[in-house]
Amino acid sequence: MSPSSSTVPGLQSALELGLTEQEYGLVCDKLGREPNEVELAMFSLLWSEHCSYKHSRKLLRTLPTEGEHVVMGPGENAGAVDVGDGLAVAFKVESHNHPSAVEPFQGAATGVGGILRDIFAIGARPIAVLDSLRFGEPSSARSRYLLDHAVSGIAHYGNSVGVATVGGEVYHEAPYEQNCLVNAMALGLARRERMIRSAAAGVGNVVVLFGSSTGRDGIGGASVLASAELGVNDDKRPTVQVGDPFAGKKALECSLELLERGLLVSLQDLGAAGLTSSSAEMASKGGVGLDLDVSRVPLREADMEPFEIMVSESQERMLCVCEPERVDEVLAVCAKWEVHGTAIGVVTDTRHLRVLDGDRVVGDVPVVALVDECPLYDLEPARPERPLYAPPAATLDPAADARATLLALLGSPNVASRLPLFQQYDWIVQSRTVRRPGEADAAVLRLPAGNAIAVAIDGSGRRVAADPYTGTVEAVLECAANLACVGAEPLGLTNCLNFGNPEKPHIAWQLAESIRGLGDACRALGVPVVGGNVSLYNEGAKGPIYPTPVVGIVGGLPDAARAGRLAFARAGDAIGLAGPFAPRLPASELAKLRGDALPHALAELDVSAARAAHEAVRDAVRAGALSSAHDVAEGGLAVALAESALAGGIGAVVSVDAGGDAWTRLFGEAPGSGFVVSGPRAALESLGAELLGEVGGDAVEIRAGDVALRATLAELREAHGSLAALFP
């Protein structure tokens, strides 16, 4: 039977759905006819930027993806690395930016739900979540609203489903005012032999859908919202998905039981583009076809059209393939978990995705055309001739003395304590958390054998805006440095690349340079990229966001009991500065507070020297030689010293070699290349650290050349806790 042609949408409908005229012509060529309503909806979503990566795929192919610990690399629902004893850790980070800008609670909640499904879709039990958030300045009522509701959404889903939220980052910058960023990262633990891939296989095998019922919520949501700029007056609320963490928990447990019992051939979650993307990707990876009957799909609303069923982004749904003789067992497990298990299709040898509505064929598309032959575009990058971003509003008098500067930095939105936000999350559920937020530079989770994994997530949009290549290298170095501080060796990296409209030459330049920096940094550190996400068109009426590549790295350490801490521990311990730290003030947090414009470039870091420092600090932490280790990040050396003092509740007396410029030495930044360490003097000397002073007292006293400051712990704590008043 031929596909229904009662509705031929034509070019105008294709344009309204986001396809270009050329792309619509290509669809017609591949089908040998015009697509009908169902087929056009499927092409418009799978050929969208969010699903196809048509402006970034060629660049992503340049990243290093192989390494001795890699179990699963790019192309699966999540990447995975070997952590010994037959175990693998699965992890991935994804964006939910545009939905969160429209409806922050559900946007963030479903972002967490979606990334958790990616983890258990490969057979791993989720054990942790981290988040990377960007908003406008907290003086903005809109930004406070978005932050408050996004954090609530993250807490709602993670806490309800029983997965610890163990870390993350929150930054405030004016370019994120209209287009916030909500990136969620999740980790899961699996036995290697029980992991599963998503490729459909076995002609005659049965396709089963389970999870929540399908409704109109989320139709065109993530795929459409994330493939175009946010309009000032667009009302996109109906396209934001609605999450149900309790349904998500049932889908999780059902999936893991099905895998534990060996009942499945393949498994895939339903995310952006819903049933269309999940089924087409499974067929593409397996080199097979699928016949799906939408009349069998459990619905919330009985009058849904076939195209609506195929593109609905209703949450908490999974698609699996099983052998015909195992269908009854699969459905019995689904019934146990009350997840609407339903056989909706069959694997074929046609290499076509056919959509049926009972006996009527309503869509028939070659899988290769739908998935593998989406047009990929070459960017046309051009370095901008003028600054893209206005200088920030000054909030600190350039004439402020060193003490006032340190207090201002500690109280600034990008440095102040995040505990008022993190305390909304359950970070100890499942009883694996060894280092909680605020205790160390990376989260640490205990494994069954007594070893551990560590994870951190990092990125600096402002520094990447100044220099996309070097800023991205710095982000990778800083994330790896955070792992070194707890004694962890990097095993694999995931990324979320958040940029503006790639069709604009200056944005294309930012994206291309950033990916080049990401690849070079990963090769220099020997860290493979095992997966990630690209989020483009992050722009509003006032322009693009800062280019924001976010990186998450998972590392391993042999003894959970020896995981490092950032807090000064004992009076009399020596304090040192380790690493090739060469700070600069341009693009620093202090430069922002002073209202300085971004520089046109950043000084390049010595990546080889930084790697050597990471390894030396890591080895010292593992050996138990250090009392504390903390990387020097936002606010520079003075802020790092104050943070270690506050974490330990004990002061420090320090004298720093000014090196010709005391202000740069104290407040300049060079992410990923400097560490404040404390411990026995001999241990610091063995590390090659520059000795600065001693731990002790109830104040932090710092001298650098002719610049001196002193602030009590109480004064530092009051400044550092400034966010508590804004977000109680």
Please, which residues have CB within 8 angstroms of residue 76's CB and are 6 or more apart in sequence?
Answer: 122, 197, 198, 531
Q: What is the dihedral of CA 434, 437, 442, 447, to 10 degrees?
A: 20
The proportion of the chain whose per-residue pLDDT surpasses 90, expressed as a percent, equals 86
Q: What pLDDT is stored for residue 229 in this prediction?
A: 53
Q: What pLDDT is stored for residue 17 in this prediction?
A: 87
Q: pTM of the predicted model, to two decimals?
A: 0.94
Distance of alpha carbon 291 from alpha carbon 356, whole angstroms: 7
The neighbour count for residue 649, using CB atoms within 10 Å, is 12
Sorted by where each begins, the domain ranges of the chain are: 60-372
Strand order in the sheet with 529-535: 433-435, 443-446, 452-458, 548-557, 489-498, 529-535
485 DSSP 8-state letter? H
Question: Residue 252: which pLDDT band, with cuts at 50, 70 and 90?
Answer: very high
Q: Which residues are catalytic?
A: 50, 96
When comparing pLDDT for 235 and 410, which is higher?
A: 410
> How many residues appear in the chain?
728
The answer to whether residues 573 and 682 touch, using CB atoms and an 8 Å cutoff, is no
Residues 676-697 have pLDDT tens digits of 999 999 999 999 999 999 999 9
Question: Residue 640: which pLDDT band, with cuts at 50, 70 and 90?
Answer: very high
Tell me what the mean pLDDT of segment 566-575 comes to: 97
Domain 60-372 belongs to what topology? Phosphoribosyl-aminoimidazole Synthetase; Chain A, domain 2 (3.90.650)
Q: What pLDDT is stored for residue 660 in this prediction?
A: 76
Residue type, 473: V
Question: Residue 2: which pLDDT band, with cuts at 50, 70 and 90?
Answer: very low
Question: Residue 220: which pLDDT band, with cuts at 50, 70 and 90?
Answer: low
Tell me what the mean pLDDT of segment 454-473 comes to: 97
726 Rama sector, left if φ>0, alpha if ψ -120 to 50, beta otherwise: alpha
Residues 385-423 have pLDDT tens digits of 888 899 999 999 999 999 999 999 999 999 999 988 888
Average model confidence (pLDDT) for the chain?
Answer: 93
Burial 41-54 (b: 16+ CB within 10 A, else e): bbbbbbbbbbbbbb
Distance of alpha carbon 494 from alpha carbon 332, whole angstroms: 36
Helix (H, G, I), strand (E, B) or coil at 650: coil
Tell me what the mean pLDDT of segment 43-54 comes to: 90
